[in-house]
């Protein structure tokens, strides 16, 4: 298994590559002048984005196409999407993982983050949308969003939501994302929701959800956004879900949607993590760390069926410290092992046969995953 503790040369760094390699950039619009422009671009669209930094260091036209975002727009139009995992095993240090090449890569450090002790120590959520990674957290007297751009390989401050919040339910679909619920700086549980457009970097207020909730989870399924579980007012555990139809701009409540063991027996303000859910090919799955099993949701019956065990090595504390994500056509469990400071990434493709987890990557990073998201572009 090959792993590399390096990030491919980014577009932002490409202009400096001549310091290392000499000025070998080609001003031609094509890497191969003998090829037609469209043919050349089509070849580049099918290259792995792990190679884009190196290609950009050789060709100015390609570098411009990459930094403008036009390359990823063309990839989306032609259905060419690679899914990478982005996760942190420290408060602010991020890694990327390419599940095809099975390679780990460092993301750059968030600038001036060491001086922002409040943000480092606060609860944080992450969300990948378009070619951006958003990291939600708190400043001293307000909320703050840091944005990592795949186009520049840099972090910056992103415009905040109309209603600042943390402990949200969120998910993305292409270049659009929705956040719902959460709580404000005073700890009030929220009922509001917002939509983010990564093309404009703007937030739009949506109709309120039916039930205020925090520490919930969000996902897209069949083109609709769902928020599920969490904690409601009076600190009661919620097992309901809600579905948002973007065409009709309406929320529909789904009773008893989340497979809680016994919500009535759980103490108020439970310390359990938000539901660990993921969608592959419009099918919803949940990881249950209490019983260490994987479940699948039956949409017609509104029930959950047990499929089999989670990876034996995965370890969590009431669901904290482990991530469960959809990555293209496979489900991933990302978490630390019971012994040692090792994070493992295990994957399973539901259509590939009986449940059998495959070890995709292992790295000494610690054994607790703070945040995790998947970017497809």
Task: Return d(Cα 371, Cα 358) in angstroms, integer.
Answer: 22
Boundary of a domain, candidates 203, 238, 269: 269
Distances (CA, A) of 82 to 4, 72, 79, 195, 291: 18, 10, 10, 24, 32
Same domain, yes or no: 200 and 300: no
Q: Are residues 133 and 237 in the same domain?
A: yes
Number of domains in the chain: 3
Predicted confidence at residue 32, as pLDDT, reads 55
Indicate if 239 and 142 belong to the same structural domain: yes
Residues 221 and 363 in one domain: no
Domain residue limits at 140? 112-269
295 plus 211 within the same structural domain: no
What pLDDT, on a 0 to 100 scale, did the predictor assign at position 22? 36
The CA distance from 251 to 239, in Å, is 16
Averages of pLDDT over each 10 residues, the chain, 377 residues: 37 35 43 61 83 83 86 90 95 92 93 82 93 93 94 93 96 97 95 97 97 97 97 92 97 89 55 92 95 95 95 82 96 86 94 93 91 96
pTM over 0.85: yes
346/248 same-domain check: no
Q: How many helices (H) and strands (E) does the chain have?
A: 7, 24
Q: What angle do CA 275, 187, 147 make, to 5 degrees?
A: 65
The answer to whether residue 7 is domain-embedded is: no
Structure confidence at residue 263 (pLDDT): 53
Q: Which two tokens stand for residue 86?
A: 């982005």
Instruction: Note whether 145 and 123 are same-domain residues.
Output: yes
- Looking at the structure, tell me whether residues 141 and 255 fall in a common domain: yes
* Residue 372: predicted pLDDT: 97
| Residues 216, 348 within the same domain | no
> Does the residue 377 lie in any domain?
no
- Where helices occur in the chain by DSSP H, the ranges are 11-14, 18-21, 37-45, 52-56, 60-67, 70-77, 117-121
Angle, CA of 106, 24 and 155, to the nearest 5°:
30
Q: In whole angstroms, what separates CA 128 from the centre of its chain?
A: 5
* 219 and 321 together in one domain: no
- How far apart (Å, rounded) are the C-alpha atoms in residues 216 and 56? 41
């Amino acid at each position: 298994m090959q792993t590399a503790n390096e990030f491919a040369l980014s577009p932002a760094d490409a202009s400096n590559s001549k310091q290392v390699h000499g000025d070998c950039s080609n001003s031609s619009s094509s890497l191969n002048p003998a090829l037609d422009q469209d043919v050349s671009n089509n070849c580049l669209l099918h290259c792995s984005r792990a190679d884009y930094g190196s290609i950009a260091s050789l060709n100015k036209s390609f570098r411009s196409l990459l930094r403008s975002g036009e390359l990823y727009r063309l990839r989306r139009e032609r259905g060419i999407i690679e899914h990478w995992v982005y996760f942190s095993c420290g408060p602010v240090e991020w890694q990327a993982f390419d599940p095809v090449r099975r390679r780990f890569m460092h993301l750059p450090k968030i600038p001036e983050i060491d001086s922002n002790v409040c943000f480092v120590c606060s609860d944080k959520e992450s969300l990948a949308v378009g070619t951006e990674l958003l990291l939600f957290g708190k400043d001293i007297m307000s909320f703050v969003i840091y944005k990592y751009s795949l186009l520049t390989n840099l972090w910056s401050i992103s415009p905040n939501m109309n209603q600042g919040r943390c402990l949200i339910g969120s998910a993305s679909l292409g270049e659009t994302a929705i956040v719902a619920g959460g709580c404000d700086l005073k700890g009030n549980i929220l009922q509001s929701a917002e939509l983010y457009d990564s093309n404009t970097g703007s937030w739009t207020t949506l109709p309120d959800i039916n039930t205020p909730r925090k520490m919930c989870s969000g996902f897209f399924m069949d083109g609709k956004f769902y928020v599920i579980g969490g904690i409601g007012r009076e600190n009661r555990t919620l097992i309901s879900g809600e579905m948002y139809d973007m065409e009709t701009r309406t929320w529909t409540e789904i009773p008893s949607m989340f497979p809680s063991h016994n919500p009535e027996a759980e103490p108020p303000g439970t310390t359990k993590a938000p539901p660990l859910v993921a969608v592959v090919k419009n099918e919803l799955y949940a990881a249950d760390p209490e019983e260490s099993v994987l479940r699948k949701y039956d949409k017609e019956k509104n029930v959950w069926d047990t499929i089999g065990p989670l990876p034996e090595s995965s370890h969590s504390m009431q669901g904290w410290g482990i991530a469960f994500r959809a990555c293209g056509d496979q489900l991933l469990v990302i978490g630390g092992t019971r012994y040692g400071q090792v994070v493992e990434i295990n994957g399973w493709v539901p259509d590939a046969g009986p449940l059998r987890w495959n070890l995709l990557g292992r790295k000494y990073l610690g054994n607790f995953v703070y945040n995790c998201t998947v970017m497809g572009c």
